[in-house]
Chains A and B, each alone.
Chain A
């Protein structure tokens, strides 16, 4: 399974990848992108099975990234990993087609719970 991790922070991409391992989801192929625009290109070129994206990024935010993906007809499972987990944002994420929103700081257990809903098999 291929997972695209999109975050403008290299540190946070490393933490997300480390937490994926700690939550029992090791062994997946990881692809990285620095913002939504690069993420869009990587979805097209890499065809990931899951996208994990930050919300607050330069160039193109996570929500614009998701809306552009869905607008282009992509149905790739998409989850946010973001420092802003307000009810308003969760509602916007869901209505735009996100499968889940994990708020930072996060635990391996929160990752496992969210990912188990989309990583089947």
Chain B
């Protein structure tokens, strides 16, 4: 039986938009960022989560530091001036990719399982056996974040681990 191995771009956008609106408030929705607007903001954070099982994928959210801090403050209901504890940022970004990953997973045929999220400062290198299936460049508060769904180049129905 042939099943879809990747979610549609519009479905992933809808997931991210809904997560954003719910956790960060309806007043400042995300918007598609045109390629010409993508600034080179290096040294940000990557948050990733892995799906294994009937559908296999890695969902990655990459974002610059100011955006990561703004998201964390918004999720915790903190003022812009309040200092963030070290764990808060990792916690918030991990939860963000967890919810996005869980909802993207629910778009696909199951049963599949989510890993715990992984958050790192700087870019994570992905496995060479993965290919980018879906990429969104999105804007929020003048910064750009990227959401990428990668799937195995040669998908199987079993967890290879």
Q: What's the Cα separation between A86 and B114 when bound, in Å?
A: 12
Chain A: number of interface residues, binned into ranges: 20 to 34
Contact A9 B91 (CB under 8 A): yes
A18 at the interface (CB under 8 A from B): yes
Mark A95-109 against chain B: 1 for CB-CB distance below 8 A, else 0.
000000001111100
Mark B103-114 against chain A: 1 for CB-CB distance below 8 A, else 0.
101100011001
A58 at the interface (CB under 8 A from B): yes
Q: Quick one: which of A52-91 are within 8 Å of B by CB?
A: 56, 58, 82-86, 88
B65 at the interface (CB under 8 A from A): no
Contact A107 B22 (CB under 8 A): yes
Chain B: number of interface residues, binned into ranges: 20 to 34
Q: What's the Cα separation between A86 and B103 when bound, in Å?
A: 9
A56 partner, pick from B21, B77, B92, B116, beta carbons under 8 A: B116
B11 at the interface (CB under 8 A from A): no
A10 at the interface (CB under 8 A from B): yes
Q: What's the Cα separation between A9 and B116 when bound, in Å?
A: 11
Mark B79-94 against chain A: 1 for CB-CB distance below 8 A, else 0.
0000000011001101
Contact A9 B22 (CB under 8 A): no
Contact A85 B88 (CB under 8 A): no
Q: What's the Cα separation between A85 and B94 when bound, in Å?
A: 18
Interface of chain A: mostly helix, strand, loop or mixed = loop
Name which residue of chain B comes closest to A12, CB basis: B95
Contact A18 B77 (CB under 8 A): yes
Q: What's the Cα separation between A103 and B91 when bound, in Å?
A: 19
Name which residue of chain B comes closest to A108, CB basis: B22
A14 partner, pick from B21, B77, B101, B111, beta carbons under 8 A: B77
Contact A84 B106 (CB under 8 A): yes
Contact A86 B106 (CB under 8 A): yes
Q: What's the Cα separation between A54 and B123 when bound, in Å?
A: 28
